[in-house]
Amino acid sequence: MERRRRRATLIGSVALLAVTAGCTADGDATATPAEPSTVSAAPPATGLPQVVARLQPSVVTVRTDQGLGSGVVFRDGGLVLTNEHVVGDQRDVELALADGTRVPARVVAADAVTDLAVLRAERTDLPPAPLRTELPAPGEPVVALGSPLGFLNSVTAGIVSGVGREIPGSASQGNALVDLIQTDAAISPGNSGGALADYSGRVVGINDAYLPPQTGAVSIGFAIPVATAVDIADDLLDDGKVTQPYLGLAVTRLTAEIARSLGAATDRGVLVRDVAGGGPAAAAGLQPGDIITGLAGDRTETLEGFLGALRGVEPGQRVPVTYLRGSDSRSTTVTPTAATR
């Protein structure tokens, strides 16, 4: 079976909450908003408007009974990606296109855990956006397209602030918002489901959430990598559900101080913070305080490396794990179960 990119189901998180950049009230323009790759060459300042103009027909406004969000045409036949929190429990929505026309659309399937939904427009000639499946590099310039606070066809610009990010606290809210692209391109309510694109006009992410000002944050937004989003969309189109590998453990970044306190000879790895009783990780003998250094044959020197290795794991697959317990180097095999949402 082809190894597919998947969002992993872990347990636990620390308490810092983000706001999903979800539906804003329709027309509410005065509302208060609650492995690196080659960098694309930035076009001249006079060329960026042309790049945006080419991409805008592939970015739609999603109108629901609750308000509006955004979406991206990702495949022929009128298929559109957006966030699950944009559509909620609705099955029929309306798409506003860049040329001002509107078209009905049906929600094919949605998944609350990964916060993604697939729509099918009644028009089948909508142009799919160019997609870039490799992650952008930190520092790369990007633009966010969508309809924040009812301002249709808006564009904001910034850079990629980081990759492999997670939103702490999201698991406790029922979402698995991990392995995200962080950007300082302004993201506001209504941007959800819209495009984060590089300067050549290729979509690198689906805009999803931001940290609100009351947390002390300034321009910290998040997008789901487009490769992850399309993989989940394929699952939703196949059978209407997303199957994820469940390990039954929570990991966090390992600091030099924690490594010294555990008696480890290295700070390269990820720290096991919690293990679910009776889960696959517990059955494999993993314990809180262990330091995972390898998964499925890949080195996991960082949290991003661990999440990247986990994306290629299938439920039911026997996966080798190397780890440190104190100064002892150990190995085991974990068999993740399927977590179907």
Find out whether 204 and 225 touch, Cβ atoms under 8 Å: yes
Please indicate whether residue 147 is annotated as part of the active site: no
- Closest residue by Cα to residue 251 from 158, 332, 203, 179: 179
With CA atoms as reference, report the closest residue to 220 among 172, 190, 173, 180. 180
Active site residue 115: yes
Out of 70, 161, 188, 192, the active site residue is 192
Q: Which of 111, 115, 179, 198 is catalytic?
A: 115
Q: Which of 131, 180, 181, 179 is nearest to 159 (CA)?
A: 181
Cβ-in-10-Å burial (0-12, 13-18, 19+) of 260 comes to exposed
Q: From 119, 102, 123, 196, select the one nearest 158 (Cα to Cα).
A: 196
The whole-angstrom separation of Cα 233 and Cα 227 is: 10
Give the residue carrying structure tokens 């539906």: 23
The DSSP H or E segment spanning 307 is helix 303-311
Contacts of 89 (CB under 8 A, 6+ apart): none
Three-class DSSP category at 290: coil
Position 277: which residue type? G
198 counts as catalytic: no
* Cβ contacts of 23 within 8 Å, gap of 6 or more: 64, 66, 67, 68, 69, 85, 86, 189, 190, 192
How many angstroms from the chain centroid is the CA of residue 188? 16
CA distance 82 to 91: 13
Active-site amino acid positions:
85, 115, 192
